[in-house]
Structure 1
Amino acid sequence: MEWYNIVIPIVTLVVGAVGGFFGGVYYLRKQIEKMQSDPEMIQKMAKQMGYNMNKQQMNRAQNMMKNQKFPRK
């Protein structure tokens, strides 16, 4: 019965890490899909990273994101 004190926390950690990873991927994918149609979100993200994008750079970034295909699983 002592081995339960070791196995259960390890299994819980692995399940939590895998679940967190897939939850994070799902959230990030949804955010990127939203950004494709909203240039203000792209501008906000660029400012958070320290970049100032002009109109031409914004159009190029938006076109790049629209051409990006995200595989569905």
Structure 2
Amino acid sequence: MTWLFIVLALIVGLAGGFFIGVFYLRKQMEKMQNDPEMIQKMAKQMGYNLNKQQMNKMQGMMKKQKFK
């Protein structure tokens, strides 16, 4: 009986963590749509330097996405 509760708690915890992570990621992406500095920071972390034209294209692509 104890094993059943352990396995059930593990499954519930993993599912809850997944949905909280997805919610957090969506909120971050929504913030990034309106803040070009966040996009620039993310690009630099990945090793890219975006010029103004690339930045505008990236913002346009993100605004077309539906995060809700």
Question: In the TM superposition, what are the counterparts of 1:1-73 in structure 2 within 5 Å?
Answer: 4-71=1-68
Residues 15-60 of structure 1: per-residue CA shift (max 9 Å, x gap): 0000000000000000000000000000000011111111110000
Which residue identity is paired with 1:22? Answer: F
TM-score, normalization by structure 2: 0.95
Shift of 1:6: 1.0
Overall identity of the aligned pairs, in %: 68
Letter of the 1:37 counterpart:
N
Q: How many residues align?
A: 68
Q: Aligned-pair distance for 1:70?
A: 2.2
Unaligned runs of 5+ in 2: none
**Larger fraction in helix:** 2
In the superposition, the TM-score normalised over structure 1's length comes to 0.89
- Which structure has the larger Rg over C-alpha atoms? 1
Name which structure has the greater RCO, CA cutoff 8 Å, separation 6+.
Answer: 2
Q: Which runs of 4+ in 1 moved over 2 A?
A: none
Counterpart CA distance in 2 for 1:7 and 1:29 is 33
CA shift at 1:69, angstroms?
Answer: 1.4
